[in-house]
Amino acid sequence: MSDYYTQNPAARWLALASICIATFLVPLSMSAINIALPAIADELQADAVLLSWVPTSNLLGSMMLMLPAARVADIIGRKKVYIVGVLMFCVTSLMVIWIETIEWLLVSRFLQGLASAMVFGTGMAIVTSVFANGKRGTALGLTATSVYLGLTCGPMIGGWLTEVLGWRSVFWAPVPFALISVLLVVMNVKGEYKAEGKQKLDWVGSGLFALWISAFFFGLSGLPDPSYFICLLAGVALFFLFLRQQGSAEYPLVRLKVLANNKVFSRSMISSVFMYGAHYPVLFLMSLYLQYLKGMSPSESGQLILLQALVMACLAPFAGRLSDQFEPRIIATTGCLIYGSGFAMLLWIDASSSQAYIAAALLALGMGFGLFSTPNNNAAMGSVPPDRLSIGSALMNLSRTMGNMFSMTLVVLLVNLVMGEAEITPEQYPDLLRVIKVAFALALAYTLVAAYASYSRGNVRSA
Q: What are phi and psi of 447, to 5 degrees?
A: -65, -35
- Residue partners of 208: CB distance under 8 A and separation at least 6: 238, 241, 242, 245
List the single range of 23-27, 210-214, 255-259, 374-378 with lowest mean pLDDT: 255-259
Residues 102 and 46 sit within 8 Å (Cβ to Cβ): yes
Residue 313 has pLDDT above 50, yes or no: yes
pLDDT of 163? 81
Rounded CA separation 295/303 (Å): 14
* pLDDT digits 0-9 by tens, 368-420: 988 888 788 777 777 776 666 666 766 777 787 778 777 877 887 887 777 76
72-76 LR contacts (CB < 8 Å, sep 24+): 72/201, 73/118, 73/121, 73/122, 73/125, 73/194, 73/390, 73/394, 74/194, 74/195, 74/199, 74/387, 74/388, 74/390, 74/391, 75/194, 75/195, 75/199, 75/200, 75/201, 76/194
Residues 120 and 397 sit within 8 Å (Cβ to Cβ): yes
Amino acid, single-letter form, for residue 54 = V
Residue 124 has pLDDT above 70, yes or no: yes
Using pLDDT thresholds of 50, 70 and 90, give the confidence band for residue 345: very high
pLDDT of 344? 92
pTM value is: 0.72
pLDDT of 113? 86
Cα-trace Rg, the chain = 21
pLDDT of 411? 81
243-250 LR contacts (CB < 8 Å, sep 24+): 245/204, 245/205, 245/208, 246/202, 246/205, 249/202, 249/204, 249/205, 250/200
List the single range of 60-69, 167-176, 396-405, 437-446 with lowest mean pLDDT: 396-405
pLDDT of 256? 67
Residue 338 has pLDDT above 90, yes or no: yes
Using pLDDT thresholds of 50, 70 and 90, give the confidence band for residue 462: low
Computed over every residue of the chain, the mean pLDDT equals 80
pLDDT of 449? 93
Mean pLDDT of 75-104: 85
What is the DSSP annotation of 344-360?
A: HHHTT--TT--HHHHHH
Residue 337 has pLDDT above 90, yes or no: yes
Q: What are phi and psi of 151, to 5 degrees?
A: -65, -35
Residue 180 has pLDDT above 80, yes or no: yes
More confident: 263 or 356: 356
Residue 24 has pLDDT above 80, yes or no: yes
pLDDT of 189? 72
* pLDDT digits 0-9 by tens, 190-245: 766 655 556 677 788 888 888 888 888 778 767 677 777 888 888 889 888 988 88
Residue 319 has pLDDT above 60, yes or no: yes
Collapsing DSSP to helix, strand or coil, 314 comes out as helix
Residues 259 and 252 sit within 8 Å (Cβ to Cβ): no
Q: How far is CA 255 from CA 203, 245, 416, 435, in A?
A: 15, 11, 37, 39
Residue 1 has pLDDT above 60, yes or no: no
Mean pLDDT of 65-82: 81
Residue 437 has pLDDT above 50, yes or no: yes
Residue 46 has pLDDT above 80, yes or no: no
Q: How far is CA 307 from CA 98, 142, 151, 165, in A?
A: 34, 19, 10, 24
Rounded CA separation 27/176 (Å): 16
pLDDT of 132? 63
Residue 81 has pLDDT above 90, yes or no: no
Rounded CA separation 140/258 (Å): 24
Q: Is 277 exposed, middle or buried (0-12, 13-18, 19+ CB in 10 A)?
A: buried
Highest-pLDDT range among 137-141, 232-236, 302-306, 392-396: 232-236
Which of 210, 172, 181, 191 has its CA nearest to residue 66? 210
Mean pLDDT of 109-138: 77
Amino acid, single-letter form, for residue 307 = L
More confident: 450 or 411: 450
Residue 463 has pLDDT above 50, yes or no: no
Residue 339 has pLDDT above 90, yes or no: yes
Using pLDDT thresholds of 50, 70 and 90, give the confidence band for residue 6: low
